[in-house]
Structure 1
Amino acid sequence: MPNPKSTAASVAQASQQHHAGLRIIAVYEIIKTVCLVLVAAAAFHFYHEQNFDQLVHWLEHLSLADSDGLRWKLVEMLQEFGPSKFVAVGAVAVAYAVLFAIEGVGLWLGKHWAEWFTVIATGSLIPLELYETLYHFGWLKLATLVGNVAIIIYLVRIARQPRQ
């Protein structure tokens, strides 16, 4: 017959480990939130024609000995993109920042709904991440894909456990 004290201790220890795992994922989500807020701020800043022109001018006169080709490709890409599209970039960045903030705060607080919310939100992006990794390979893309799949698997395992 199992000892009720040792069973309770095992459950408490597993709960603490899961709590630490949720906190780590929450911090990751909050870091993504902060990064996206910075991207949104920059995008809204470069929406203004004069700020955009200053960026292009700065890039045109930046001296990069080994990266001249890259610099001109970036200048050309920015000029094709134009300042008006920065609003869309900023809006998308804000939308994702809100999503990641909700996930992060909910996981930090140990909310059961946040576990499933994060599984659904993160899982919905897996097909896009998989496509990007397969057709435009990059090590960062692969690491992001693997990390997000690991987060989904971990959260599903946690979320399916009975609650006290």
Structure 2
Amino acid sequence: MTDKHYNPDPHAHPGLHIIAIVEAVKGSLALLAASGLELIGPAPLQRWVHELIARFQLDPSHGAAAWLAQAINPGAVHLAAAVAALYGIVHLIEGWGLWRAKAWASWLGCIAAALYLPFDIYAFALHRHWLEAAVVAINLVVVWVLARDLMVRRR
């Protein structure tokens, strides 16, 4: 169902292109992180966490850093790498779809950005910092651009 005034050419949608580039960058960085986790492995990660605990004089038996040091093992590293890889692949696919002005990519992006909004708003309510405000504003713009694209397609 397309409107004869709606142009599916991705060059007609600069907002989609910008979001597509951001999604592709996020996906690429996530795949790099996943690869890095697999290449580095758990031993150096544990050593780095222990060095941070010592440097900042944290309690090595209590707290988040101590939990992290104990949680790092080969299985956890493989799981984290798999989650990061899946996240990266989804964002690369979304970026490709948005670049090509695919409706399913607009749906995926709109839903994903909308799911982040409650957490972003909560972070802003706690910290009231310009950075949290910028994140909320950017996500609102992304949801608006993608929802607008979907509404134009529907007409």
Count of aligned pairs between the two proteins: 145
Larger-Rg structure: 1
- Could you tell me how far 1:23 is from its partner in structure 2? 0.9
* Structure 1 position 40 matched with structure 2 position 34: yes
TM-score for both structures, normalised by structure 2: 0.70
Which residue of the partner structure matches residue 48 of structure 2? 55
Gaps of 5+ in 2: none
Q: How far apart in 2 are the matches of 1:73 and 1:149?
A: 40
Q: Deviations over 1:36-57 (max 9, x none)?
A: 22333344455422x1244246
Gaps of 5+ in 1: 1-7, 62-70
Contact 1:46–1:86, Cα closer than 8 Å, also in 2: no
The one of 135, 138, 152 aligned to 2:126: 135
TM-score for both structures, normalised by structure 1: 0.67
Q: How far apart in 2 are the matches of 1:93 and 1:137?
A: 29
Q: How far apart in 2 are the matches of 1:79 and 1:136?
A: 26
Which residue of the partner structure matches residue 94 of structure 2? 103
Q: How far apart in 2 are the matches of 1:59 and 1:135?
A: 26
* Amino acid of the structure 2 residue aligned with 1:27: I
Query: More deviation in 130-139 or 51-60?
Result: 51-60
Contact 2:10–2:17, Cα closer than 8 Å, also in 1: no
Query: Which secondary structure state, in structure 2, belongs to the residue aligned with residue 133 of structure 1?
Result: helix
* Amino acid of the structure 2 residue aligned with 1:124: L
Which residue of the partner structure matches residue 80 of structure 1? 67
- Could you tell me how far 1:137 is from its partner in structure 2? 4.7
* Structure 1 position 157 matched with structure 2 position 141: no
Say what the alpha-carbon RMSD is for the aligned residues: 3.5
